[in-house]
C-alpha cells in the first residue's frame, strides 16, 4: 500500500526502469538518459534523453465500491476506507541526438515495458517497497487527435511520443476507525413468542 508519496514513487520507478533500458544503447558515451520533466521549460539536450511526463491522474473505475479494509490480529482492530485506486498516465518523449537515436530510444522503451509489463517485487521502491502490490504498465492507444490535444494542452508542438498507463496504484486512506473489541456477550434465555 502507498502513502501520499506513492505518485512520486511510481514516477521514480518508471524513470529507473527506462535508465536501465537505455544503458549501453549508444555506441559511444554518453548513453541516453531518462528524466522526469513537466515539459513547461525547454528540454536541455546536451545528451539524448527520454522525458517522462505525468500528464494525467485518474481514479480506476474498476476498483470502486470495494469493501472497507479491516486489520488482522494481533494488531488492534481497525476499519478503514479501501485505498484509492489510481491510474497514472505518462508521456515518454525522445529529445536530442539524431532521428535514428530518438527512434532507438523509443524502441528500447517499448521493448522494456513489453518484456516486463508488471512492476513488482524488488523493483518497487519508496512506500511501495516490500508490499504485495503490482503495477501494470500498458501502452495506451491514443488517436493522433488525442495525442495532439495532450501537446496542445502543454502548448508545445507535437512530437513523436509514447503514452503509457500504469494501474493500479493504491493510495491509502487516512480515514481509519478503531473498532471496539467484544469481550463478552449475554444471551437472554426467553423463548420467542
Domain 6-174 architecture: 2-Layer Sandwich (3.30)
Mean pLDDT over 154-180 rounds to 81
User: Which residue in 3, 175, 172, 171 sits closest to 87, CA to CA?
Assistant: 171
Look at residue 141 in the predicted model and tell me its pLDDT: 87
Per-residue confidence band for 11, with pLDDT thresholds at 50, 70 and 90: very high
Q: Where are the beta strands (DSSP E) in the chain?
A: 33-36, 49-59, 69-70, 78-80, 84-95, 118-119, 135-139, 162-171, 176-178
pLDDT of 89 over the 90 cut: yes
Stated as kind and residue range, the H or E segment containing 11 is helix 6-22
Q: Residue 142 has what pLDDT?
A: 87
Confidence grade of residue 114 (pLDDT, cut at 50, 70, 90):
very high
Furthest-apart CA atoms within the chain: distance in Å: 91
Question: Residue 115's pLDDT is what?
Answer: 95
User: What are the tens digits of pLDDT across the range 116-162?
Assistant: 999 998 888 888 888 888 899 999 988 889 888 889 988 989 999 99
pLDDT value of residue 173:
65
29 exposure class (CB count in 10 Å sphere: 0-12, 13-18, 19+): exposed
Domain ranges of the chain: 6-174
Average confidence score pLDDT of the chain: 86
Amino acid at each position: 500500500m502507498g502513502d501520499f508519496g506513492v505518485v512520486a514513487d511510481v514516477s521514480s520507478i518508471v524513470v529507473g526502469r527506462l535508465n536501465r533500458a537505455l544503458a549501453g544503447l549508444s555506441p559511444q558515451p554518453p548513453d541516453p538518459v531518462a528524466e522526469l520533466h513537466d515539459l513547461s521549460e525547454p528540454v536541455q539536450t546536451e545528451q539524448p534523453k527520454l522525458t517522462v511526463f505525468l500528464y494525467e491522474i485518474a481514479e480506476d473505475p474498476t476498483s470502486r465500491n470495494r469493501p472497507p479494509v479491516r486489520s488482522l490480529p494481533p494488531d488492534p482492530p481497525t476499519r478503514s476506507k479501501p485505498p484509492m485506486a489510481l491510474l497514472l498516465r505518462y508521456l515518454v518523449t525522445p529529445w536530442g541526438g539524431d532521428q535514428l537515436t530518438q527512434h532507438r530510444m523509443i524502441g528500447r522503451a517499448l521493448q522494456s515495458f513489453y518484456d516486463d509489463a508488471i512492476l513488482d517485487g524488488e523493483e518497487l521502491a519508496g512506500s511501495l517497497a516490500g508490499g504485495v502490490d503490482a503495477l501494470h504498465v500498458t501502452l495506451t492507444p491514443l488517436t493522433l487527435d488525442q495525442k495532439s490535444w495532450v501537446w496542445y494542452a502543454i502548448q508545445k508542438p507535437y512530437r513523436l511520443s509514447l503514452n503509457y498507463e500504469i494501474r493500479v496504484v493504491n493510495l491509502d486512506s487516512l480515514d481509519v476507525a478503531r473498532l471496539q473489541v467484544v469481550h463478552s456477550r449475554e444471551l437472554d434465555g426467553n423463548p420467542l413468542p
